[in-house]
Amino acid sequence: MSAQRNEPRPNSRLPVLTEEMMNERQRHLLEAIKSGPRGKFTYGGPFAVYLHAPEFGVLAQELGAFCRFKTKLPPRLSEFAILVTAQHWKAQYEWHAHAAIAERAGVTPESIADLRAGRVPKTAPEDERALYDFITELYATRRVSDANYARINAMLGDAATVELVGLLGYYALVAMTLNVFRMLPPAETPLAFDESGAG
């Protein structure tokens, strides 16, 4: 499958590398992404950044493929967690890429709207509310209380709790990458978060 010409907005801090411009290691990363579970490469996303450091990119895409497609978390909860992370970091491209996936996975439009606005998703099911409390406490305090840990661990079990924390770390990495290098959705796409105070 070919790479999608979904280029970042003009203020991206890194140039877009077309396939013709890539060296052997960059092409290896490109092919690993296209032949993996994603099935495509999008020029506007984080992997357009990682092409500039392909050795790192290979590792990041392997971890990302596991976090996105292979954890023990149901897709609905995984995508919900990604949206909480995207909102926390105000990561425009991460939100753009995952809001529709989250809705297809079963997160309601009302919960998605609440998350985008930074509100508690009061109509969300109990498992999503438990995730929300766990994730927001972790991001706010850099720790998780015994009560929130016990709630999540009882719901997910040990292995999936470990994978949840790994997923949050991975998508925080993606969010930081997108924000630092100003990787935004295509120009015709409305931004989810206010950029007026961004650097």
Measured distance CA(121)–CA(187) in Å, rounded: 29
Taking the C-alpha atoms of residue 75 and residue 9, their distance in angstroms, rounded to an integer, is 29
In a domain, 194, yes or no: no
Q: What is the pTM of this model?
A: 0.92
Q: Is residue 187 part of a domain?
A: no
pLDDT (tens digit per residue) in 77-135: 999 999 999 999 999 999 999 999 999 999 999 999 999 999 999 999 999 999 999 99
Sorting pLDDT into bands at 50, 70 and 90, what band is 3? very low
With residues binned 3-state (H G I as helix, E B as strand, rest as coil), the percentages for the chain, rounded to 5, are 60, 0, 35
The domain that holds 136 is classified in CATH as 1.20.1290.10
Residue 33 to residues 10, 43, 106, 144, 185: CA-CA distances in angstroms? 24, 12, 26, 34, 19
Report yes or no on 154 lying in a domain.
Answer: yes
- Reduce the DSSP state of residue 42 to 3 states and report it: strand
